Every structure is written in structure tokens, then in C-alpha cells.
Structure 1
Amino acid sequence: MAVQESALHDWYNTPMGARLIEVERQLVARALAGRFGTHLVQLDSGYHKPLFEPRLYGCGLLMTQLDNRAPCPSVRGDAEALPFEPESLDALIMHHTLDQCDNPYQAVREAAQTLRPGGILVIVGFNPYSTWGLRALFSRARAGLWRSRFISSNRVSDWMQLLNFELERSEKHGFMSPFSRPAWLSKLRFLGRLQKSLLPVTGSVYLLVGCKQVPGRINGRARWRAKPILESGLAGRTIRKQHEQ
């Protein structure tokens, strides 16, 4: 995964990568708009910069596999074994994390354990049912974007619902050509507009937003016991009168 992160870091610095990052930054901003919390973590895939606005959070961390110079606090860790206490985070961003994991379901499970009840999980991933997914099928690259998993958003949303997340958003975005040559980009730009209007499910990336739900707990003290305890004096007098008779 560290090799993938290094290759993706180089790709994010290309013009094509920068365009995608701008789209994803807007998606994350909308997903977090109006949310309140203190502890937010972004599981990074190589961008090495926060997609969220650090000043809006008391503690915003970036977690990666590699050392980097991110403009916010960062830690090294594994998405499949998060180094955080259970129910300690208010929000968790998975930026193409599942596309690089050996066990993506375990990563979602770890997210469910570390988020507090009502916490928000934001997942950004590559869409296999897109022109980018089609190119990845025929790519011979050994690392980087085209060696990502391209997991179906439907599959990931099933995992989220299984782990008690209420799905709030499921969207496709980024209707861009999978080719980085400037001449091709200009010629294929109109296809992206056509694709967005006629085939909106074929965006290059998907966004999933879920809120962690917790089943209601049964109160440990039975309600019927409250009245005798509060009226113990009256209850005592009633018992004594019955005994005297």
C-alpha cells in the first residue's frame, strides 16, 4: 500500500490529478457542511494535504502510510487497524482508502468502531462503471491510479448499512476523460458534458456519506420500581395499617 500511496502522490501532482482533487475537495466540503465536531481524521491515499478546512475543527488529523509534510497534524497508520480509541471520532474521511486496501471491508468496519454514535463517514472512491474504470481494466501499470481496486459504490454502501450506517448521500461526479494528453482533453470535453446529462451514474468517482446509528438501549432500571422508592414513606404506612388489621 505504501508503494501505491507514493505513486498516487506523484499522480495527484499532475494536471489531471489536480482537476480531480478540486472536484473531490468540493464534494467533501458539501458532505461536511453544517456538521459540528472536534475530532476529524482523513485517511489519505497519497495527496498528503487535507481535503477539509483545518481551522474549522479542533483536532483535524491526516493518517498516511508515508512520512510527509502535510500542513496539518499527521500520523502513520493502517486503515485496516486504526490507531484510535473506539467511539472517539466525530468524522472520518476515506479518500480512495478502500481502493488501496487489501481488505476494504475491514477498513469500513474499523471506521464503524472508531466513530462515535452520530459520527459521519465520508467515502470517496473510483467508480468502476466509468470510462476510468474501463481504462483500468486494460492498464498494465504496476502501481498508481490504474492499479486501484475500483470497488462498486453499491457494494460499499451495502457494507455501510450492514455496519449500522444510515446512508445520507450516494453520488457520482467527475465526468472527465481518463486520458491526460492536452489534445485529447480538449477534444473529449464535450463527451464529458454529454455523459453527465445522459449517464450520470458513470462519473469517475463516487461519494458516499453515512451517519453511524446505534440501536436503542433498554434502561437498566425498571420503571415500576420508581414509584415505591419515591413514596417509600407512604408505602410503609400502608403496609403497617394492613398488618394491624
Structure 2
Amino acid sequence: MQSSQSVFFEQMPLGQYIVARETPLYAQAVADVFGFHALQIGWSAHDLLEQCRIPYKHSLQLTASANASLLCESEFLPFAENSVDLVCMPHVLEQCADPQQTLREVFRVLVPEGSLVLTGISPASCLGMRARVGQFRQAGGFSRLFTAWRIRDWLSVLGFEVVRSGYLMHAFPFNDPDWLARQSCLERWGPRLCGMSGGIYFLIAKKRVLNIRLLKPDWKMLPLNPALQVRKGRSSIQKNGQKQLECADVESTMDRNVR
């Protein structure tokens, strides 16, 4: 898998073109995210967190790589709950065995209001047709393609809110640098004419958590209205009742003495 990934991203012209289209998107998306820990899953040869202002950056890879700081499966992330502020996943859901479990893990490790940036290949596009067969599929390690609407549904069920979405790469997926360069006009006019026809979709989502505010008691305030509180002194009704009890006791004592 490591050699195939290397061929896809570093040797194939189509792979280089995809990276060139997605890298500016990630740079723009992560520039305004703040926190302490940022995580990139996949694409070890490309630093998608270069423009990120978060101090602690982690690179997690699914296969052995020299640039990876962590090596594990995406379905079981080695991070504590609510500990990561940003997660970037370029084409991870298409390569992992259980994409839903991967999203659950991402939701678990993200802090409330944490950001998720992911990209994938649209199966209804020309690029999606090419990613299903041939050398391009083997090089990319694509096991299954998902539409952007399905990923949206999964994110909504987990508790994410998609704040921004769109499509990239409107050029035809030729594996030739000259033919790809000649299609620059499609990249300019594609989003305006037929935006959903792009070969790559991107989703930027935030983890939403219901905020519950704990109401602490104010010990300086009286718990009840002073008018409703019971005073130390006895009321007139209590005094009359006490007198009747005392008279009854006196009468009963006199009756016993007479007998």
C-alpha cells in the first residue's frame, strides 16, 4: 500500500493535479482554526497543516511512512475524548474499511465546536468513473466511493454541522500534464456553470454539542420569601390551643382529687 500511495501522489500526473487543487483549500480552511492540537490523517508527503496556527500538529498515517508521527487505523484513533481541535482527512473514507466508525472516532476526539475538513471523490463524476477501475484505483487505494450527500447524512446523525461545502476539479481526468494544463478554462467556469459536476467534493463541519449550564445556588439570598417563612414566635391560634390544653389538664386533675 505504501508504494501504491507513493505512485498515486508523487508519480502520476493526475495525482499531482489533485493535490494541487486540494492543497489551497486545506490551507484556507485551517488558517482560521485555533486551539492546541491539530490532526492530519493521510497524505504524509504533503503538509496540509502548514498554514494552521495551532501549536501542536500530529500526522497520522494508515501505512508506514517517513513523515508520519503516528501509525494506526483510522477506526481507532489514539487520542483522548475531546482533545483535538482540528482534523483533516483527505480521501480517508474511501480507503478505510469502516468509514462510519472513522467518523465516530473523529467526533469522539474532537472538542466541542471543533472543525473537520474532508475531501472525497464524487462517484457520479468522470473522476469517479476512473477511480473505480484500472491503475488509478490501485494507486489510490480506493475501496469504495461515497457521495457528498451520504457523508452529509452521516455527519448530521453524529452531531456535526456542515458549515461549508463545494466541488473541485472540473477538468477531465486525463493522466497527462499537457492535457490537464489545457483545461484551465474548465476550472474557472466549472463552478459557475455546473458546480456539482466537480470530481472532488469537500466538506467543512463543526462538532455541535448541546450546552448545559449548571445553575449554582446563591448562598447570600434567602431561599424563601420572608413573608412566607415561619417565625419563631407562636401565632394567636397556637396560643389559644395551648390554653385549651392547659385548662383540660387542670380539670382532669381536679376530677381525680375529688374522687
Q: Specify the alignment match of 1:241 in structure 2.
A: 232
Q: Could you tell me how far apart the structure 2 residues matched to 1:233 and 1:191 are? A: 73
Q: Could you tell me how far apart the structure 2 residues matched to 1:134 and 1:22 are? A: 21
Return the letter of the residue paired with 2:104: R
Q: Which moved more, 1:208-217 or 1:15-24?
A: 15-24
Q: Could you tell me how far apart the structure 2 residues matched to 1:49 and 1:185 are? A: 21
| Among 44, 58, 64, the residue aligned to 1:61 | 58
Return the letter of the residue paired with 2:153: D
Q: Specify the alignment match of 2:36 in structure 1.
A: 38
Can you give the 5+ residue segments of structure 1 that lack an aligned partner in the other structure? none
- The answer as to whether partners of 1:12 and 1:47 remain within 8 angstroms in 2 is no
- TM-score scaled by structure 2? 0.78
Percent identity over the alignment is 29
What is the root-mean-square deviation of aligned Cα atoms in Å? 3.0
The 5 A counterparts of 1:11-50 are 11-14=8-11, 15-44=13-42, 46-50=43-47
Q: Could you tell me how far apart the structure 1 residues matched to 2:88 and 2:115 are? A: 8
The 5 A counterparts of 1:1-245 are 3=1, 5-14=2-11, 15-44=13-42, 46-53=43-50, 56-70=53-67, 74-139=69-134, 143-145=138-140, 147-182=142-177, 184-185=179-180, 195-217=190-212, 219=214, 226=217, 230-231=221-222, 238-241=229-232, 243=234
Counting matched residue pairs gives: 235
- The answer as to whether partners of 2:39 and 2:86 remain within 8 angstroms in 1 is yes
Distance 1:190 1:31, change over 3 A: closer
Q: Which moved more, 1:60-69 or 1:156-165?
A: 60-69
Return the letter of the residue paired with 1:144: A
Q: Which moved more, 1:191-200 or 1:55-64?
A: 191-200
Q: Could you tell me how far apart the structure 1 residues matched to 2:225 and 2:184 are? A: 83
Task: Tell me how far 1:31 sits from its aligned partner.
Answer: 1.7
Deviations 1:9-59 (A, max 9, x none): 221113332222122111112222322111000111x44332111672211
Q: Could you tell me how far apart the structure 2 residues matched to 1:29 and 1:175 are? A: 20
Q: Could you tell me how far apart the structure 2 residues matched to 1:228 and 1:13 are? A: 66
Q: Could you tell me how far apart the structure 2 residues matched to 1:195 and 1:232 are? A: 66
Task: Tell me how far 1:148 sits from its aligned partner.
Answer: 4.3
Return the letter of the residue paired with 1:136: A
Q: Could you tell me how far apart the structure 2 residues matched to 1:141 and 1:109 are? A: 29
Q: Could you tell me how far apart the structure 2 residues matched to 1:92 and 1:230 are? A: 46
